[in-house]
Amino acid sequence: MSTHRDMFAVYAIALLCLVPASRSSPLVCEKLVHPLDQMDPHRLEGRWALVAGSLSHLPSTEALRLRDSITMYFSNSSETSNFSYTQINRFGDQCQHLPYNITVEGSTFTFDVRNRFELTGAFLSTSCPDCVVMRWVVKSKRRQSVDMYLLSRRREVEQREMEEFRAQLKCYQLPAPVVMDSTKELCPEQPQSQPTAAAAQIEETTEEQKS
């Protein structure tokens, strides 16, 4: 059901791209908005660095700019398509761990956010060999946002890989990306110590911004 909805959205957007200002866009967009047929779970496992992100929701974009680095860990639970996903945001010397369960079906995924809001999306094609491009659709009472993220095993990608991501964003009519500072350290997978009150405070604020 959600797969169909998603496919419909993709086609609708592909159609939008067929009415472009420039002549080269339709074919380019058709390829760039194409979701992967299947996300190989093994390919997803492990650590990823957020290289760049673009969000249709402006306040959330500003929240992204405040983070020094973002690390994303995927680990699968045996033969199921249920993954645990941990996002670790660095704010200066603070690391904020946000664990979620996520279900991957083909190229689409759904976050288990316990009915606080809806977070679904798809993995899109990319020519970058060690990257993942994710499109998130966040829906809550207060906001609806389409986010696109470029993740890589590397901290920085080649210029042409970034250009491809920028072109994908244009196809979705999303703003130019926030490019993360690759010199800022990533946070470790496991929290070093018990979260402090300050970290809990950040988490609350972020949850607010997310929902």
Ligand X SMILES: *[C@@H]1O[C@H](CO)[C@@H](O)[C@H](O)[C@H]1NC(C)=O
**Among residues 46 and 175, whose Cβ is nearest to ligand X?**
46
Residue type, 34: H
Question: 3-class DSSP state for residue 126?
Answer: coil
Number of residues that bind ligand X (CB under 6 A): 13
Tell the smallest beta-carbon distance from residue 138 to ligand X (Å). Answer: 17
Question: 3-class DSSP state for residue 69?
Answer: strand
190 binds ligand X (CB under 6 A): no
Of the candidate residues 3, 82, 182, 209, the single one contacting ligand X (CB under 6 A): 82
Draw the binding track, 98-137, toward ligand X (x: CB under 6 A; -: no contact): -xxx-x--------x-------------------------
Residue with tokens 């908005």: 33
Of the candidates 117, 111, 112, 119, the one whose C-alpha atom is nearest the C-alpha of residue 141 is 117
Tell the smallest beta-carbon distance from residue 105 to ligand X (Å). Answer: 10
46 binds ligand X (CB under 6 A): no
Q: In sequence order, what are the residues at sequence separation of 6 or more whose Cβ sits closer than 8 angstroms to the Cβ of residue 190?
A: none
78 binds ligand X (CB under 6 A): yes
Applying CB under 6 A, the span of 77-85, 137-145, 153-161, 185-193 interacting with ligand X comes to: 77-85
Of the candidate residues 25, 75, 125, 140, the single one contacting ligand X (CB under 6 A): 75
Q: In sequence order, what are the residues at sequence separation of 6 or more whose Cβ sits closer than 8 angstroms to the Cβ of residue 62?
A: none
59 binds ligand X (CB under 6 A): no
Calpha distance 49→153 (Å, rounded): 6
**Among residues 101 and 209, whose Cβ is nearest to ligand X?**
101
3 binds ligand X (CB under 6 A): no
Of the candidates 173, 171, 127, the one whose C-alpha atom is nearest the C-alpha of residue 150 is 127
Residue with tokens 């996300």: 39
Q: How many residues does the chain have?
A: 211
Applying CB under 6 A, the span of 51-59, 71-79, 122-130, 191-199 interacting with ligand X comes to: 71-79
Calpha distance 203→86 (Å, rounded): 13
38 binds ligand X (CB under 6 A): no
Calpha distance 171→27 (Å, rounded): 11
Calpha distance 36→123 (Å, rounded): 6
Of the candidate residues 79, 183, 194, 197, the single one contacting ligand X (CB under 6 A): 79
Q: Contact positions toward ligand X, by CB under 6 A? A: 41, 45, 75-76, 78-80, 82, 99-101, 103, 112
